[in-house]
Each structure stands twice: as structure tokens, then as C-alpha cells.
A and B are shown apart, each in its own frame.
Chain A
């Protein structure tokens, strides 16, 4: 009887949508499996050397960066979120979304901007020297080393914590906070006794996002000359073309990721409060006098150094070098980047829609499926990059007989020299971004329209095109923009997986900065920032709609 039931169940559920979903999930998981498989591979001489002399340093630096950045972003993000959610002060409404803007400046751009700005020839030191005749000792102001990297990461990644915590405080904690106030507790007590413990899941969630960014970073750390596991993966590949050792490093980074994952579970343990959706928005208390000024100043300073100052500095530099940079080659660069991003985004959205549609029927299978296609987001770019690279080299070896029968020569590298590799990399990394947007769309829609359509004689696929797709337009739109923006900004994958001589806006900017052509890098930086601001605006609009 059981076999009969399963047979019937398959008959009920199985269709082309499933096959596409499973293939997509396999493509996403395969490179990650490659990384794990590398653990069991025979180590070579390079690896022994790395292990003996360098690995400890890489691991220590990586962990140091993660811990320090985690602490500082949590502090900055939570304090700002609490101020903006619970109190009213001048320009609060502006800061509410303005404090998201630092996220639109990619960290590597922020790093070279600040390093140059605060350097000997930068605007700060020159002004001090020329106007005030004041000589700063060089080590006092430079952005370098672990301290510099933590400074950059904190200032430009804290919005993750801020955004999630603020949303939580504004929408879900109202009755608790109001009750605590009514019970006569002072503001500080309310914060430490109610707000902080309640919003722990949100704070942890936001901080974990920051940690993933830091673990996957290549731009900032390599620019500032810090050796982390991620930068080592790059050096092993670019310096020694040693995929196996690079994969072993990636496996080490994976170990840290798994550690972070369990840390998150541990920190959130028993902290899953059931909070109703129907709660009211928290009404902010008006601050007066000094308190009001202090709140305003705090937000202003963060906004200034986290966005406005570097932004204006970039505009000034762009103004100086614009005529040199703005030419045919630059247009090609934009065209290439946009085309690549559009192709990748569309393929991501197609899979995302198919999988999300399959996952509408809750089952353990759909749970595993959705987890598989979204794994990429919690795996740092360098790991994905090296996994994809290894997979493609293996594919090329495997296809070698086919190539030679086609007259392409003995054992050429066809796929691993093509743009397909980079698209697959983006696909793995960013399917989660598209999927989450689409899933929200399906959730809002519910299953009733689909069911009604099937009762009226239309199959799953026809129903999708006639009913689901038109109703999904908004979600598709936001999914497209969010994914598109992420791809335009992306650096590590593009650096490692692009074909020879192929540049994107991000890689070109990074190359300029690395060649100490900082001023030349500013125009493309501004373009990337402009594209990113788009996604901040989308988040803002989505947030408003959800509220309504």
C-alpha cells in the first residue's frame, strides 16, 4: 500500500518543473561538493608549505577581522536602529533611510577612497599642512592593516544590522516596549532589559550577514595588504595556478563558515519569539534639548563619514579625471557589465521562479530544494569562484575527446576560458537574492488562484503563464533589480572567473585602484554607487508596501 501511495504521490506532483529545479540545485551544489571533496585529495608541496608557514596567520587574521567587525557593526547598527525607531529628533525621517546609503558604496571603493583621502597627499593632510601648518604623524591617520579594514567594514556594512534591527523594533516589538514604558522603566532600562534581549534574533541575523561579507572579501583586504584565507585563495591561484591548494584553503574557509552557522544557531537558541503580524508601529518619543542634539549629531556623523564625505570626494576626483576616462573603452565596459548582469539575472530569475513554484507545496522535498538553491548566498565569493573553476577545468578535461573530435586540438580549455564560467558563478552566488524576492511574491499571492485555475481545466504550466506570472510582476521586478545590482557590484567572482582581458565595472575600478590610479577609478566607482542606490530605493519601496 505504501508503494502505491508513493507512486500516486509522484504522479500528482512530478512534472517538468521538478526536473528543472533539481538540475538547478545540482548545478548550485556541485562546486561546493568539489570543495569538500578536495579535503580528501593528496596534498602537494605548495599546500604543505602553506600549511606549515602561512595558514595559521591567515586563519588568525580572518577571525580577528570577523570578530572585531562583528562587534563594532552590531554596536553601531543597533544603537542607530534604536534611536531612529524609538525617538524623534531633527531629520529623523531622513536618517531612517539615509543610514542605509553606506551600503551602496562597495567596501573596496570605500577603502581606496579613505586611504587616499587620509593619506599624505589626501585632502585632510594637505589642508592641515597648508592651512594650519600642522604636520600629522603618518601612522596616526592612515587607513591600513587590520584596524583600517575593520574601520571600513564597520562603516560601510553596519546598515545590514541597522536595517534588520530597525524593521524588527518598528514593527514587531511595540507592545513589549510600550508595556515596559508603562511599567515605569527608564529609557536605558527599557533598552537593556527589553529591547536588546527581544531583538537578539534580528541583531544576530544582521551581524551574520556582515560576517559573511567580511569572510568573502577580497577587495579591501588585498588592497590593504592583509592576508586572510580569501586573499590566499586568490594568491594561490593567480600566483601558482594551484587549484588544489586553493581548494584546500577554500575548505578551511568553509570550516569557519560552518562554525559561524552553528554560532548563529547557538546565539538564537530559544530566542524564536512568536510575534504577531498585526502589531502596530512603534510611536517614537520626541527628544528635547541636549538629547535631541546629541541624537542628531550621532546620526549626522555616521551619515557623513559613512556616505556623504567619500561620495563627495569621489565626485571631486571624477570631475578631475572625467575627460580622461569617459571614452569609447568606458562605454564598452558599461555595455559589457550591463549585458553580463542582464543575462545572469534572467537565468537566475528563471530558476528562481521554477523552484519557488515547486516549493509552494510544502513538503520536506521542497524545503531541501529551497535550501539548496539558496546556499550560495552564505558562501563567500572566493570559495564559489574556486569551486566553479575546479569544476570547469574538470569538465574541460572530461570533454577533451569531444573537443579533439571537433578539431579543436588536444585538451584545450574551452569552457573554463569562456564567460559561461562567470555566469555560472553569479548563478550560484545570487540565486538566493532572486529566489527570496520571488518567494515573497508567491507567498503574498497564496495558492487559491492557482487552485481555481486548475479547477477550471488548466494544467500547472498553463496556469503559471496565465495566472501566476501576471500576478508575480511586482516580485519579478524587484527580484530583477536586486539581483542585477548585486552582480554589477560583485568583485571576487568576476576577478577570478572572467575570461582573459574581460573587464566589468567592478574589476576595472579595482584594477585602477590597485595601480594607484585612484582618481581614474572614481568615475566607475560613482556609476557602481548609483546603481546600488537603486536597490536601496527598491528596499525602501518594498518596505513601505509591506507596511500598507
Chain B
């Protein structure tokens, strides 16, 4: 089943500037983990913001799980797209505990099931002992795991990750990368990971695409498969 389908997507920050993303098309299947590579300024983070609904394209269509979320005359707000996102700096709510951060996205779930879902998530990322802590009392790696749990908790159709490892120490990076791959596969989650580091992609992604500035001949390269 196709989980994300993008057609002729074009976006620019202002009318005067050249498009950052120009006539971009792409699709991915459920359960795939896709890496998006590109230099800074190539529009990879923007692509995630377009999929999530935080930005609006000039033209093009995006479908998520078969539902059109943006197209001519259609705009579904981010909160109604069922897309999860792990932000570069995690954006954990500083006034809430780990537990409450994960609980936050479950407002549409029946009250009864919420506690159980939070516990599942805490177990998945192995954060049960720290559930009562506040974000500033956690290490960078722990914060990232909480951000991941929070994004996965509402069972999104697709998970978007923006440079998930850029805030981590080099030696921590490797182990967390492996862990992330395991967690994502365990949850059978479709995932798009944006990064500038080819090693990230090789470690966890099924395949990757490269996007670059629009003045290059083609907006993205062919799918490149990795052995995971």
C-alpha cells in the first residue's frame, strides 16, 4: 500500500525567490524507511514541513494513506493529517513530564486506553524509570527517545524525522542509530528521515533519495537501495 504520494510539488519561500522544491514527485510504501539526503538549503527540511502541513506548497498534490491532504483548493491542517514528527531539537514541552509529553498526543483516543499506550511507548523506548522526569533533567539521547515515543504514540500513518542525530555526541550516535532502526521496524512504522549524513541513511534506511537545488537538472536522484 502506498503511504505517501507526492506529485509535482513546488514550493518557494517568497514569490521573488527561485523555488526551493521544484516539481518534485515521490512515493513510498507502507513500512518503508526512506532517507532523504541533501546539502543544507536543498529543501529537505522544507519537504517534511510540506508533508506535515506546517508549510503550504505553491502547487502539487500530497496524499497520505490514500487521502489527499493538499491539492488545488484542499488544505488539511497539520493536526488532522495523522503524521508524526520528531523535530531536530526534539521540542519536548518543557512544562510537562516525560509521561505527560507522551500522553499529549493521545487526546483523540478513548480515555481508558491512554495510560496503557503511554506505558507501551515508555517500554518501547526503555524510558519507564524516567517517566516522571522533566525534559531538562534528561540527557540528549534520552530526550530523543522521548520525542520518538511521543511521535509514535498516536500511531501516525507516517513518521517524519528531521536530522534526528544532529544533536547527539558522535559516540552516542552510532548506538542510538541502531536502536532507532530496531524500534521503527518493531513498530512497523513508515518513516522519512532527513539527514545530511550518508552514514545515517546506510545504517537504517531501506533506500534513499538525494534532493538538491532546483537549478540542477533533476530534482532528485534515483532510489538507491541499501542492505539493512
Binding site for B on A (CB under 8 A): 1, 4-5, 7-9, 11-12, 448-449, 451-459, 462, 466-467, 470-471
Contact = CB atoms under 8 A, between A and B. Distances in A.
B52 A455 contact: yes
A456 B54 contact: no
Contact of B104 (A8, A448, A466, A471): A466
A107 B13 CA distance: 49
A58 to B, nearest CB: 47
A264 B92 CA distance: 43
Interface string B118-156: 000000000000000000000000000000001100100
Sorted nearest first, the 7 A-B pairs with minimum C-beta distance are: A456-B105, A448-B91, A452-B91, A454-B78, A455-B85, A11-B75, A8-B75
A366 B151 CA distance: 31
B98 to A, nearest CB: 14
B58 to A, nearest CB: 7
Interface in B205-226: none
A231 to B, nearest CB: 49
Chain B, interface size category, equals 20 to 34
15 contacts: A1-B59, A8-B70, A8-B74, A9-B56, A12-B77, A451-B91, A452-B91, A454-B77, A454-B78, A455-B54, A456-B79, A456-B151, A459-B79, A462-B107, A470-B95
A457 B75 contact: no
B24 interface: no
Contacts of A12: 56, 75, 77
A512 to B, nearest CB: 48
Contacts of A471: 93-95
Interface in B84-103: 84-85, 87, 89, 91-95
A402 to B, nearest CB: 40
B154 A457 contact: yes
B93 A457 contact: no
Identify which of B54, B79, B104 gathers the most chain A CB atoms within 10 Å of its CB.
Answer: B79
A174 to B, nearest CB: 29
Contacts of B89: 448
Contacts of A7: 73
B105 A457 contact: yes
Given A457-B154, A459-B79, A470-B95, A451 B56 contact: no
Interface string B20-33: 00000000000000
Contacts of A470: 95
B83 interface: yes
B72 interface: yes
Contacts of A449: 91, 93
B108 interface: yes
A462 B82 CA distance: 17
A451 B79 contact: no
Nearest to A11: B75
A3 to B, nearest CB: 9
Given A455-B151, A457-B154, A466-B104, A4 B73 contact: yes
A467 B105 CA distance: 12
Interface of B: 52-54, 56, 58-59, 70, 72-75, 77-80, 82-85, 87, 89, 91-95, 104-105, 107-108, 150-151, 154
A467 B84 CA distance: 18
Contact of A452 (B56, B59, B70, B85): B85
Contact of A459 (B54, B77, B91): B77
Tell me the interface secondary structure of chain B in the complex.
Answer: loop
Given A448-B87, A449-B91, A466-B104, A455 B78 contact: yes
A457 B107 contact: yes
Contacts of B154: 456-457
Identify which of A11, A456, A467, A471 gathers the most chain B CB atoms within 10 Å of its CB.
Answer: A456
A4 B70 CA distance: 12
B5 to A, nearest CB: 19
B138 to A, nearest CB: 16
A465 to B, nearest CB: 12
Contacts of A457: 79-80, 82, 105, 107-108, 154
A449 B93 CA distance: 6
A454 B79 CA distance: 5
Given A457-B79, A471-B94, A4 B104 contact: no
Given A449-B93, A471-B95, 11 more contacts: A1-B59, A4-B73, A5-B58, A12-B56, A451-B91, A457-B79, A457-B80, A457-B82, A457-B105, A459-B79, A471-B94
A456 B94 CA distance: 16
Nearest to B56: A12
B150 A456 contact: yes
Nearest to A470: B95
A451 B108 contact: no
Contacts of B150: 456
Nearest to A452: B91
B17 to A, nearest CB: 15
A214 B222 CA distance: 69
A454 B56 CA distance: 15
A452 B73 CA distance: 25
B87 A451 contact: yes
Nearest to B84: A455
A456 B92 CA distance: 12
A4 B107 contact: no
A140 B128 CA distance: 81
Given A4-B73, A8-B75, A467-B93, A453 B104 contact: yes
A9 B80 CA distance: 16
A159 to B, nearest CB: 35
B75 A455 contact: no
Identify which of A452, A454, A462, A470 gathers the most chain B CB atoms within 10 Å of its CB.
Answer: A452
Nearest to A1: B59
B46 to A, nearest CB: 13
A455 B154 CA distance: 10
B154 to A, nearest CB: 6
Contacts of B151: 455-456
A467 B95 CA distance: 8
B54 A454 contact: yes
Contacts of A454: 53-54, 77-79
Given A12-B56, A455-B78, A456-B104, A4 B93 contact: no
B165 to A, nearest CB: 18
Nearest to B71: A8
Contacts of A1: 59, 72
Nearest to B49: A451
B59 to A, nearest CB: 7
Contacts of B79: 454-459
A459 B81 CA distance: 12
B60 to A, nearest CB: 11
